Amino acid sequence: FYFIPGALSNEEQGYWIRESLVSFPQPPNRTNHTALYGPIFGLFDAVCNHKVLVEVARTTSEVENIPCDDKTIFTPRRYFFTDFCTVETACKSVAASVLLRKLRWSTLGLQFDWSKRNYDVSLPHKKIPDALCHLAKKMALPAMPDGEQFQPEAAIVNYFGQSDMLGGHLDDMERDWSKPIVSISLGCKAIFLLGGKSKEDTPLAMFLRSGDIVLMAGEARECFHGVPRIFTEHEHIDNKALMSLFSNDADLYIRDYIKTSRININIRQVN
């Protein structure tokens, strides 16, 4: 287990916060919304433009114009963003801002199937962005076996709201536990609990602040861990310099989101 405090500069943190909200929820990456609504394009842009997601009947031409190489995964779903919703045109609608606040996870690279708890290589996916791969490889070095390089193949982005927590669990679906999970903290600080190989073991508690990175490899992969709380109260704010990066009007929605939320990007080598 490696704890690297302050691993990212404020500018780097700002970049990855923006990517986590704007780019990472984009299809073919899947989110917790995908099962209900199908692939959702442009969620954050829809928030900025006060749009709502509506369900309507799609025409054949609309399906053909969907911006995706594999259109077959889109045809059963008939949801898209619009400026308004009427009873005549939609039977279900939800504000984009509500969807953003209810975003809990997105998956990059090889897609993780939460229902089966494994990686489904048959699902459409893109490679993890090069910049994130480079960062993960660099940060993983202390935990890597001699002469080996970390190969980022999948990432899970967790989004924590004000009352969210992550119960004690193991990350045990990757083939080789000697390779680390690279875990990046962004936004509000959190309590991280590192336990033992049994849930009965007393955990060690520590703060994770924005820009901190944790590596878990080898025996640490066999330890239960979780996040019981994030701190959103004003008296606990200790990332004012980070917030100042989002001071202009164009970044209003990023600033409002991150001041009461935490984002965790954890990158894995699957094989």
Q: Compute the distance between CA of residue 25 and CA of residue 185 in angstroms, rounded to an integer.
A: 17
Q: End-to-end distance of the chain based on CA atoms, in angstroms?
A: 20
Q: Is the dihedral of CA 104, 224, 260, 241 positive or negative?
A: negative
Burial class, 109, CB count within 10 angstroms (exposed 0-12 / middle 13-18 / buried 19+): buried
C-alpha pair distances (Å), 24 with each of 17, 92, 231, 245, 263: 10, 25, 24, 20, 12
171 is in an annotated binding site: yes
Q: Between the CA atoms of 109, 211, 194 and 226, what dihedral angle is there, to the nearest 10 degrees?
A: -60
* CA–CA distance, 42 with 77 (Å, rounded to integer): 16
**Whole-number Cα distances in Å, 224 to 119, 133, 188, 263, 267:** 21, 26, 22, 20, 18
Check the annotation: does 169 bind a ligand.
yes
Flag whether 33 is marked binding: no
With residue 139 as reference, give the H or E element that holds it.
helix 130-140
User: Which ranges in 23-129 belong to alpha helices (H)?
Assistant: 34-37, 43-48, 60-64, 96-101
In sequence order, what E strands does 138-196 have? Answer: 154-160, 166-169, 181-187, 190-194
* Cis peptide, bond prior to residue 142, ω within 30 of zero: no
Annotated binding residues, as ranges?
169, 171, 225
Annotated binding residues for Fe cation, as ranges?
169, 171, 225
